[in-house]
Structure 1
Amino acid sequence: METHLADWLKGTADGAEAEAILRKCVHCGFCTATCPTYQLLGDELDGPRGRIYLIKQVVEGKPATVATLSHLDRCLTCRNCETTCPSGVRYGHLVDVGRKLVEKQVRRPLGQRLVRAALREGLTRRWLFDPAMRVGQALRPLLPATLRDKVPERRPAGGWPTGRHERKVLILNGCTQPAMMPGIDAATARVLDRLGIETVVEARSGCCGAIRQHLNDPDGALADVKRNIAAWWPHVEAGAEAIVINASGCGAMVKDYAHLLRDDPEWGPKALRIVSFTRDLAEWLPEQLAAAAPALRDKLAARGAPKVVFHPPCTLQHGQQIRGAVEKLLASLGVPPLPVADVHLCCGSAGTYSVLQPELSRQLRERKLANLQAGKPDLILSANIGCLAHLQAGTGTPVRHWIEWLDEAMAAPG
């Protein structure tokens, strides 16, 4: 797509990136067919091709409008379009640039600014979010339905292993997951402990930066990124095998650190090394588990395995381009997941999207749950905290992280 940058954008990093991405787009429209918001709304400007056109207008100098902002806001950033695109258009990076430029030109209403600031500052600070979530869980039966949906029931996390092992990996000291579902990190640590691997949580690390990045706070996101790199660096230097991420949204963000810092001579090389050490749990664990898999498969067969279905988060299958890894692992243990129609489509969680676009998010969840529950599973498994909480709020079928299920399977007698 031929693009002529506005004079005020020429020579800037954002301009160069936007132009390079736009020039790859051939306007074929394949992306439109797999866009969740286009399927719901039927508006060309609420699909990737239309949004790309809007961003192109802005970078060429046409003033952004409230409508431009609204169409970009309705994008889930699920990146399904990237998987579909035959030309390799990096839409996720383009929409980040587009949103940044549009936000500078269009002032949001005060209510929107306050909500987005509360999400940006409240979700990313453990000292704020942890006690707020505990209060919310204690008062959950009294909360209105819309708020209750955002507060998952508290489940015991179980013990954290105390064994010391020569093999060590880092996991993220995340922002929302430890408060909402602490059992995910604990289950990860227990599974790895059984495999002779010690799980290290570096207290100086924190939010991966995705929340700030997607709420158009790039400077705050970069501060989160640099803090994490600095916190993990001594462990990487000391011989940690990997940074293993058990929330696919965070994994997608951490793997983007080198891109975000590509022009920084000090932090760029460190970011490259951090990214080279980063693995999603779904891509890293199957190899570690291979030796133990036959015995676990026999145990599951002897006591009867549940019917499970797996929802691959967009950040796993489109953001990280990891597809089929969890399903293959489950099948190798004698628990093949049930088939799911339209498995590539977003569930509607998308970080803070379910708060900012509740009606669209609800419609996407209803469609996703209808497909997931078509085979009447005993259990819905997924791989990202946002998807887990969002799906559970819409169904009575238990929704768990797949590592929690694996931990319980390995711990069960037999």
Structure 2
Amino acid sequence: MQTNLADFIKGTPEGAEAEAILRACVHCGFCTATCPTYQLLGDELDGPRGRIYLIKQVLEGAEPTHKTQLHLDRCLTCRNCESTCPSGVKYGRLVDIGRKVVEQRVARPLGERIKRTTLKEALPRAGLFKAGFKAGLMARPLLSAKLQDKLQPPRPAGQWPTTQHARKMLVLDGCVQPAMAPNINAATARVLDALGVQLVIAPKAGCCGALRYHMNDQDGGLADMRRNIDAWWPYVDQVEAIVMTASGCGVTVKEYGHLLQHDGAYAAKAKRISEMTRDLSEIMPQFEAQLAERMKGRVGKRVAYHPPCTLQHGQQIRGKVEGVLRAVGVDVTLCAESHLCCGSAGTYSVLQPEISMALRDRKLTHLEATGADEIVSANIGCLTHLQSGTDIPVAHWIELIDRAL
């Protein structure tokens, strides 16, 4: 795609990156076939190709409008288009660059500004979110049905193992997961402990940075990333890997090296951290034989697996979760349209509730059609979003293994 950047961005690192991405696009439109918002809305500007044109116009000097902002806001950043694109267009990076420019030039209505500021200031702070979540649970009977669905009481975390092992791995505790699902990391710690690996939490690590970064507070997101690097750095020579139990966090941490490549103080450290980061599904295959021996067919139920977009499209990891579960004797299946987003997408379910709920209901229709007794996934956002619309239990896949052990 021929591109002529405006002076305000020409010659900048972001401009060079955006230009390379734009030039890779050949307008083929394959991306529209797998874009969830295009599937629902049928508008070219609510698909990747249309949004690419909008971003191109803005970066070439056209003045963005509220309409421009709306079409970019409606993007889930699921990156399904990246999996489909034959030209390797890095759409996720382009939309971040475009959104930042539009955010700087288009003033949002007061109500939107308040909502977005509340989300990006409250959610990344684990202590503040935990207090707010507890208060919400106490007031749950007084809230609307939609809010009650979002405020599901967490399952008890259970005991964190205390055994010391020679093999050690770090795990990110995150921001909302400790309050909403403390059982996920605890279950991971117990499973790895049974396999001779000690899971360690760095106390000062917190939000991975994705939440603020993708809400156009990119400076705030980068600050969260630097804080995590500082928290993890003393451990890097003591651990085998940094394990991610939330694929939404994992895709971001794996991109630290790219996002901080122009930061003289953090570029090398960020690259090392990204290289050490592994989704839990990348860690567990080495233990399949041990797990199969220990579990011995203890999971008799039929399980449907929902692969998060951040895992299958963002990290380009497919088949590993199902492979581990099948190897240890679990009857697991994928549903129809397993490549499409469930509609959670971080804060999207709050900011774009109608589209989010439509995608959730479409996903649940397919998941329930499998006849599964339980739904499992690999990301906290997907788990809570799906559970809000079904009576079928929804859990992280590692919890299934933890219960069987």
**Shorter-chain TM band:** over 0.9
Partners of 2:128 and 2:165 lie apart in 1 by 33
Contact 2:18-2:97 within 8 A present in 1 as well: yes
- Is residue 342 of structure 2 the alignment partner of residue 347 of structure 1? yes
Contact 1:157-1:186 within 8 A present in 2 as well: yes
Residue number in structure 2 paired with 1:388: 383
1:268 partner letter: A
Which SS does the other structure have where 2:132 is aligned?
helix
Residue number in structure 1 paired with 2:288: 290
Residue number in structure 2 paired with 1:222: 222
Displacement after TM superposition at 1:331 (Å) = 1.0
Task: Map 1:25-44; keep pairs closer than 5 Å.
Answer: 25-44=25-44
Contact 2:297-2:330 within 8 A present in 1 as well: no
Displacement after TM superposition at 1:297 (Å) = 4.9
Residue-by-residue CA offset, 1:147-190 (whole Å, 9 max, x unaligned): 11221222211111111111111001210000001000110110
Task: Map 1:269-308; keep pairs closer than 5 Å.
Answer: 269-287=268-286, 289-300=287-298, 305-308=300-303
1:283 partner letter: E
Residue number in structure 2 paired with 1:168: 168
Which SS does the other structure have where 1:215 is aligned?
coil
1:363 partner letter: A
1:120 partner letter: K
Residue number in structure 2 paired with 1:405: 400
Residue number in structure 2 paired with 1:327: 322
1:349 partner letter: S
How many pairs align? Answer: 405
Residue number in structure 1 paired with 2:246: 247
Displacement after TM superposition at 1:293 (Å) = 2.9
Moved more, 276-285 or 151-160: 151-160
1:346 partner letter: C
Partners of 1:156 and 1:44 lie apart in 2 by 45
Contact 2:295-2:404 within 8 A present in 1 as well: no
Residue-by-residue CA offset, 1:175-231 (whole Å, 9 max, x unaligned): 000000100011011001101111111111110000001110010011000000011
Contact 1:349-1:361 within 8 A present in 2 as well: yes
Partners of 2:346 and 2:374 lie apart in 1 by 23
Displacement after TM superposition at 1:263 (Å) = 1.1
Residue number in structure 2 paired with 1:81: 81
Residue number in structure 2 paired with 1:93: 93
Contact 1:124-1:207 within 8 A present in 2 as well: yes
Displacement after TM superposition at 1:387 (Å) = 0.3
Displacement after TM superposition at 1:146 (Å) = 1.9
Residue-by-residue CA offset, 1:65-119 (whole Å, 9 max, x unaligned): 1100000000000000000000000000000000000011100001001100000
Displacement after TM superposition at 1:298 (Å) = 2.3
2:249 partner letter: C
Identity of aligned residues (%): 62
Displacement after TM superposition at 1:123 (Å) = 0.3
Unmatched tracts of structure 1, length 5 or more: none
Displacement after TM superposition at 1:311 (Å) = 0.2
Partners of 1:55 and 1:312 lie apart in 2 by 29
Residue number in structure 1 paired with 2:144: 144
Partners of 2:23 and 2:83 lie apart in 1 by 18
Partners of 1:22 and 1:338 lie apart in 2 by 37
2:306 partner letter: H
Task: Map 1:179-194; keep pairs closer than 5 Å.
Answer: 179-194=179-194
Contact 1:137-1:154 within 8 A present in 2 as well: no
Contact 2:173-2:185 within 8 A present in 1 as well: no
Displacement after TM superposition at 1:140 (Å) = 2.3
Residue number in structure 1 paired with 2:373: 378
Contact 2:288-2:324 within 8 A present in 1 as well: no
Residue number in structure 1 paired with 2:132: 132
- Is residue 261 of structure 2 the alignment partner of residue 266 of structure 1? no
Unmatched tracts of structure 2, length 5 or more: none
2:262 partner letter: D
Displacement after TM superposition at 1:291 (Å) = 3.3
TM-score by length of 2: 0.98
1:381 partner letter: V
2:107 partner letter: R
Contact 1:158-1:186 within 8 A present in 2 as well: yes
Which SS does the other structure have where 2:8 is aligned?
helix
Contact 2:306-2:334 within 8 A present in 1 as well: no
Contact 2:80-2:340 within 8 A present in 1 as well: yes
Which SS does the other structure have where 2:170 is aligned?
strand
Which SS does the other structure have where 1:338 is aligned?
strand
Moved more, 263-272 or 72-81: 263-272
C-alpha root-mean-square deviation of aligned residues, in Å?
A: 1.0
Task: Map 1:48-59; keep pairs closer than 5 Å.
Answer: 48-59=48-59
Residue number in structure 2 paired with 1:113: 113
